[in-house]
């Protein structure tokens, strides 16, 4: 038996020793190919929420209840804070009464106008009396319009005592406590929506023209690539760093992203050719990234590679360790078992 077993082979023996023996015919392989892909430039970006706001009071009143706290999820339209409504309710009732009175005056003015018009047609009253009836009707109509507007305003002020969520999201900060008196313009509560996120990136001025022309980018997160929905390029550079702000809008509801996170972004800057292998063919052993190469006569070898960025959910680029035309095993477990079998045969020769 041969001595001095290679440490890498010893690792393979340990990992796949429990598997049944396979023949090389059971190992499926795929040829390594070279494909043209967009050339990308990687930059760091910061995730931010598109919908983020601080809701301020639009009427005065004592805070009666704060119904949500930090990190609570709120549906759109739910009441966040209640203010004492005594004053606003009284104004609403007064406005309702004023409108009823204005409607009654308008009805009286219309009846008077109709009566005077008939008399004027019969030449029973003067033109000046008819003009007064007409003016009174116009005044009554204006009074009703003013009363209706007053009721709308009073209704809005009453509604302002119920501070509601403008969108579904998470509370990030509360600025008032129960018992405090809120004044118009005073911040009450802050929140963000995690449904719509975007990434803000500082791009060097040397790349901005290319990015303007290509207008393609993606965000790399946990081995996945999230394609940008839209790019917004700011039309000016920062005076201190000479970088341009670029906003990358993301699809709705991306899991695993939160405002404030740092992420890698990839901007398309041209075209390049890369070697591509299936992602299922790549194995990770501690800090080792490798593939099982199927050579002549079905001989299996375990080879370290330097992997690049994922091309998509099924393919990954290879920077070093492989050549075009070589074949890699699609099932690393089966390939490892076959390699063990081949090594065992070689040791017994």
Question: What are the tens digits of pLDDT across the range 288-331?
Answer: 888 888 888 788 888 888 888 777 778 888 888 888 888 888 88
Per-residue pLDDT averaged across 1-21, rounded? 38
Q: Exposure of 289 by Cβ count < 10 A (0-12 exposed, 13-18 middle, 19+ buried)?
A: middle
In this predicted model, which residue has the larger pLDDT, 265 or 276? 265
End-to-end CA distance of the chain: 7
243 vs 182: CA distance, rounded Å:
42
How open is the CA angle 11-31-312, to the nearest 5 degrees? 85
Q: Is the CATH number of domain 85-160 1.10.287?
A: yes
Fill in the DSSP letter of residue 232: E
Write out pLDDT tens, residues 41-88: 999 999 999 999 999 999 999 999 999 999 999 999 999 999 999 999
pTM of the complete model: 0.58
305 vs 79: CA distance, rounded Å:
57
Per-residue pLDDT averaged across 332-342, rounded? 83
CATH of 52-82+161-193, one of 3.30.465.10, 1.10.10.10, 2.160.10.10, 2.40.50.100: 2.40.50.100
Domain ranges of the chain: 1-50+196-349, 52-82+161-193, 85-160
Per-residue pLDDT averaged across 246-257, rounded? 90
Q: Token digits for 22?
A: 């396979």
Give the CATH fold of the 1-50+196-349 domain. Answer: 2.40.420
Q: Token digits for 257?
A: 């992203």
């Amino acid at each position: 038996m041969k001595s001095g077993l290679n440490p890498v082979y010893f690792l393979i023996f340990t990992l796949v020793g429990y598997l049944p023996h396979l023949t090389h015919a059971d190992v499926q392989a795929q040829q390594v190919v070279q494909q043209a892909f967009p050339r990308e430039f990687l930059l760091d970006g910061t995730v931010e929420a598109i919908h983020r706001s601080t809701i301020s009071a639009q009427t005065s009143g004592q805070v009666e209840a704060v119904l949500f706290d930090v990190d609570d999820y709120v549906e759109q339209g739910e009441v966040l804070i209640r203010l004492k409504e005594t004053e606003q309710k009284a104004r609403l009732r007064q406005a309702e009464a004023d409108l009823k009175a204005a409607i009654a005056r308008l009805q009286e003015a219309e009846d008077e106008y109709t009566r005077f018009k008939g008399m004027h047609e019969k030449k029973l009253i003067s033109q000046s009396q008819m003009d007064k009836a007409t003016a009174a009707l116009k005044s009554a109509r204006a009074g009703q319009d003013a009363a209706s507007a007053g009721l709308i305003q009073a209704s809005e002020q009453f509604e302002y005592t119920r501070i509601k969520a403008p969108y579904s999201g998470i509370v990030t900060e509360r600025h008032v406590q129960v018992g405090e008196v809120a004044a118009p313009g005073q911040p009450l509560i802050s929140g963000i929506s995690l449904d719509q996120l975007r990434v803000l990136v500082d791009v060097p001025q040397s790349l901005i023209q290319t990015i303007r022309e290509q207008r393609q980018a993606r965000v790399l997160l946990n081995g996945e690539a999230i394609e940008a929905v839209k790019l917004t390029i700011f039309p000016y550079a920062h005076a201190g760093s000479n970088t341009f702000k670029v906003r990358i809008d993301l699809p709705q509801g991306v899991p695993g992203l939160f405002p404030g996170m740092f992420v890698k972004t990839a901007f398309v800057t041209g075209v390049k050719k890369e070697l591509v292998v299936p992602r299922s063919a790549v194995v990770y052993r501690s800090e080792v990234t490798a593939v099982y190469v199927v050579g002549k006569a079905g001989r299996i070898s375990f080879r370290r590679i330097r992997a690049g960025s994922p091309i998509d959910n099924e393919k990954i680029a290879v920077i070093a360790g492989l050549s075009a035309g070589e074949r890699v095993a699609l099932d690393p477990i089966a390939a490892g078992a076959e390699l063990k079998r081949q090594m065992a045969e070689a040791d017994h020769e």
